[in-house]
Chains A and B, each alone.
Chain A
Amino acid sequence: MANDISATIRAFLIENIFGGKETAELKNDTKLISTRMMDSIIALKLVSHLEEKFGIEFEAHEVDQDNLETIDAMVKFVQSKMK
């Protein structure tokens, strides 16, 4: 399951940040928010995408840097919501 979630997030980021071109630069621990790689609207679109895809809902306070900073953090968060 973790692989599924990770692949979904990765595909979204490649499409929306890297112009659809797969890149080895994007790693599971690459910081996305503090480094300004991902702006707020892309982050919000990603949240909606994950909510739809995995049938979960982010509470208002959960849409924050801690849960969205890296692919790893997002996978962990989505998994915790699916339990």
Chain B
Amino acid sequence: MSAASLIERFRNSARHSPDAVALVFPATKNPAEEKITYSVLAERVAQLASHLSSKGLKEGHRVAFIFPKSIDAVIVMLATLSCKATYVPIDAELPADRVKLILREADPHCLINHPDHFPSESPCQQDQMSSKLDLINACVTFLPAEDESNYKDLDAILYTSGSTGTPKGVCLSEKNISAFVDWALETFDVSNTDIFSSIAPFNFDLSLFDLYVAFCVGATIVLYDSSFTRNPKSLAASIAKNKISVLYATPSQLNVLYHFGKISSEDLSSLWLVLFAGEVYPAQQLHLWMKAFPHISFWNLYGPTETNVCTCFPVPKTFDETRIDPYPIGKVCKHLEGRISSEGELLIAGDNVMEGYRDHEEKNDVAFMEIEGKKYYRTGDRVEEDVNGDLVYAGRLDRMIKKRGYRIEPAEVEATLSDLESVVECAVTSEKTPDGFTQLVAFLVMNDPEQESVMTIKHFCAEKLPLYMIPDRFVFLKELPKTSSGKIDVSVLAKSD
């Protein structure tokens, strides 16, 4: 493991190749691209870090930021790390209620937000302490927050769906992220001549690869904001134009690029490495990419946010076109330890594994399991070993759903639906469409058939939940099937469609 911290390794790259382009930020509607070299980026990071610490930001403080993807957002993250503080990325497109929930839970010492993304009832609007930054286009507010933390040296807290109706903060330390980055550097032969894409949002663990692996080798990163991810034709064209060589995305995103971005007609001769993670990639859909671009190496990476990537599988370039079964998730990364419990659950120990959830002792008690003095994270995923010793994903132990790489606890969606007075009972399951996308299905019993309005229910969900958690399909029933003990029988619903 490298002795230098991630931020020191970024600075080393800046010293080594000051004039190399660190970030490119294209726009869908404007052919001009913003670019910034390593030296200028390092300078702006240092300026912001010095400003924040002069205003009172200290080691161990939490910095929440609400920003669309941009060069400024990267400056905020790196400046936070420079101050040995912890960044908490909050998706700028989340509904206000969700932002409030995360802010309450994260209890940040400092909130930095893009001027267009004031959280409603934000402290920014009431507090005189809030000020406009000159260094980047943002507003900064210092807040009274609890200094005590259960964990040390945290770099980031990433929020994911929680089964009790509130998001959970996954606390990742410098050790956790460095261990992952070092593994990636050993596994993939990337260098400063590579051009990385950054497609996943910064609140998503895929971004840790895009940013820190690239910064450690002094490569260029092309930042794609949500206008690109919603517009696959622009994204496909930009991937070709910018000669992206390393791309890490969810299977859904790759699927969208193939089906709607017409990527197979683009010249992707520079692209040599495509990594995918976050959900199962149906083999037939993956083969479409492999047939269009036989020169690319495809890797299936697996791991929840709590462990980051913990198993990996290089997809063989020669493949059986009739294969239906998804490819294995592969072998446990060599710097980690894996076990399969008697229930078939994959358990992971090692430096990648998160320190714990923020302020959730009881959740930590369930998430970890100690075996022979080692702390194992319980992935909740069932796995089986195939004849080659590769692990094959065999489903969840609980009801968690993966949709477009996002984790969704159905209970969280059900809790929101139940807040509607007209809902008597409800259950949420998932289904796969023929073209390989996962959809959420809500089964609802309403107290009056007149209330069966998809529009009203969707509007209500849209105010409370992120877009990916809003059910795609609604099924109205007179009653929900029950088990003998009177609980809703979700397995019957899942099969009924």
Residues of A within 8 A of B (CB): 17-19, 21, 23, 25-26, 30, 35-37, 39-45, 47-48, 58-61, 63-64
Contacts and interface: CB of A to CB of B under 8 A. Distances in A.
B462 A36 contact: yes
Contact of A39 (B260, B470, B474): B470
Nearest to B29: A61
Contacts of B475: 19
B450 to A, nearest CB: 12
Interface of B: 28-29, 227, 229-234, 237, 252, 256, 259-260, 437, 453-456, 458-459, 462, 467-468, 470, 472-475
Contacts of A17: 454, 458
Given A36-B467, A36-B470, A60-B231, A19 B462 contact: no
A19 B455 contact: no
A18 B454 contact: yes
A63 B231 contact: yes
A45 B455 CA distance: 20
Given A25-B453, A61-B28, 11 more contacts: A17-B454, A17-B458, A21-B454, A26-B455, A37-B459, A40-B229, A44-B256, A59-B233, A60-B234, A63-B233, A64-B227
Nearest to B462: A36
Nearest to B470: A36
The residue in A17, A18, A39, A60 that gathers the most chain B C-beta atoms within 10 A of its C-beta is A60
A45 B259 CA distance: 9
B462 A35 contact: yes
Contacts of A43: 230
B454 A19 contact: yes
A23 B234 CA distance: 34
Contacts of A45: 260
A42 B470 CA distance: 13
A74 to B, nearest CB: 16
B234 A39 contact: no
A7 B230 CA distance: 25
Contacts of B437: 41
Nearest to B463: A36
8 pairs of A and B residues whose beta carbons are closest in the complex: A60-B233, A36-B462, A44-B260, A60-B234, A25-B455, A40-B230, A18-B454, A63-B231
Contact of B231 (A26, A41, A48, A64): A64
A47 B458 CA distance: 22
B460 to A, nearest CB: 11
Nearest to A39: B467
Contact of A48 (B260, B468, B472, B474): B260
A26 B227 CA distance: 26
B252 to A, nearest CB: 8
B448 to A, nearest CB: 16
Scoring B230, B462, B473, B475 by chain A CB atoms within 10 A of each residue's CB, the highest score goes to: B230
